[in-house]
C-alpha cells in the first residue's frame, strides 16, 4: 500500500472515531448527535486554523532561528537553492538555528511560504552530499504540503480530545443521560478515544516521514547520501538532545531532537531509524548504487 493510500486510510479511521465520540456527546448531553460533532470540529478547526497560518513564525521564534541569505550563509543557501531547482519548487526562505545539535526542519503552509531551517551543528557534522539529502527530505515535505496534512490531522485529533473532555466532565458532574450503564460507556470512550486519535495522528506523521525520505532521495538521485546523514543525525541527537523548543514540535525535525528512547518511542512522531535506513538502502540497490 502506498504512502498516500495509508494516509487516507488513517484519516478515515480518525474521522470514524470522531463520528463515534461526536455521536456520544450529542446523544448523551445535547439530545442531537450531529450538533455534538459539528460543535467540536468547528472549535478544534478554529484553533488549528490559527496555528496553520502562524505556526512557522511561532516555530522559528521558539528555536531562535535567524533568516539568512547567500551572503551570510553561502554554503547552506547554495545547497537549498540546488535542491529547490531539482525539485522544481520556489526558493524557500533559509534559516539557521543556533544550536550544536545537528538537525533540520521545514515549515510554512505552502511552497510559496516555506522556510527550510538547519542547525549550526548539522553544518559542521554532514558533508555537502549528506546535507543535500537532508534538505531534499525537507523540500519533499514542502512539495507534499505536509504542514497542511498534519494540520488536518491535528484538527481531527483536537476535536476528539475536546469532545472526550466534555464527556468526562459531563459524566463526573452527573449531566446527560446515564441510564442503563451509559456512565461506564462514557468513561471508557472518554479515556480511549483521545489515545486512539493520538496514535493515528502519530501513524500519519510516520507515514509522511517515509514518503519524504523516498521523495528526497529521488530528488537528489542518491539514497545512500540521505541514509548516511540519518544515521549520523540519529546518533548525534541521542548523545546531545536539543535543549530548547517544545517536544510538541518534534515532528517538524528530520530526526527527533529530544532523544526519545525506550517506552517513549511508542509515541514517537518518527518511524524507527533502522527501517528508514533499510528502505533507502533498498532504493539504492534498485538504482544500482552500492
The residues assigned a catalytic role are 138
* C-alpha to C-alpha distance for 80 and 133, rounded to whole angstroms: 10
The secondary element (H helix, E strand) that includes residue 106 is strand 104-107
Phi and psi at residue 270, to the nearest 5°: -115, 145
Q: What is the DSSP string of 43-83?
A: HHHHHHHHHHHHHHHHHHHHTT-EEE-TTTSHHHHHHHHHH
Cell, residue 224: 545512500
Residues 6+ apart with CB under 8 A from 117: 60, 63, 65, 94, 95, 96, 97, 104, 105, 106, 107
Amino acid at each position: 500500500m502506498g504512502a498516500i493510500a495509508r494516509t487516507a486510510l488513517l484519516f478515515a479511521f480518525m474521522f470514524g472515531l470522531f463520528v463515534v465520540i461526536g455521536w456520544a456527546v450529542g446523544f448523551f448531553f445535547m439530545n442531537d448527535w450531529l450538533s455534538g460533532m459539528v460543535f467540536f470540529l468547528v472549535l478544534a478547526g478554529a484553533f488549528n486554523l490559527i496555528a496553520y497560518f502562524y505556526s512557522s513564525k511561532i516555530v522559528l521564534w521558539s528555536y531562535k532561528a535567524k533568516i539568512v541569505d547567500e551572503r551570510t550563509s553561502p554554503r547552506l543557501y547554495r545547497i537549498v537553492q540546488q535542491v529547490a531547482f531539482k525539485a522544481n519548487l520556489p526558493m524557500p526562505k533559509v534559516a539557521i538555528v543556533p544550536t550544536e545539535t545537528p538537525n533540520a526542519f521545514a515549515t510554512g503552509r505552502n511552497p510559496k511560504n516555506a522556510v527550510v531551517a538547519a542547525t549550526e551543528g548539522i553544518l559542521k557534522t554532514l558533508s555537502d552530499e549528506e546535507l543535500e539529502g537532508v534538505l531534499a527530505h525537507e523540500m519533499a515535505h514542502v512539495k507534499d504540503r505536509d504542514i497542511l496534512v498534519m494540520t488536518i490531522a491535528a484538527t481531527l485529533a483536537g476535536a476528539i480530545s475536546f469532545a472526550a473532555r466534555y464527556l468526562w466532565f459531563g459524566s463526573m458532574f452527573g449531566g446527560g443521560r446515564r441510564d442503563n450503564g451509559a456512565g461506564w460507556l462514557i468513561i471508557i470512550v472518554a479515556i480511549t478515544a483521545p489515545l486512539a486519535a493520538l496514535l493515528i495522528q502519530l501513524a500519519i506523521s510516520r507515514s509522511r516521514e517515509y514518503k519524504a525520505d523516498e521523495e528526497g532521495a529521488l530528488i537528489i538521485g542518491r539514497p545512500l547520501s540521505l541514509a548516511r546523514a540519518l544515521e549520523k543525525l540519529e546518533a548525534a541527537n541521542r548523545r546531545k538532545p536539543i535543549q530548547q523548543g517544545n517536544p510538541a514540535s518534534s515532528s517538524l525535525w528530520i530526526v527527533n531532537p529530544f532523544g526519545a528512547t525506550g517506552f517513549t518511542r511508542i509515541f514517537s512522531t518518527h518511524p524507527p531509524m533502522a527501517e528508514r535506513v533499510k528502505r533507502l538502502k533498498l532504493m539504492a540497490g534498485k538504482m544500482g548504487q552500492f
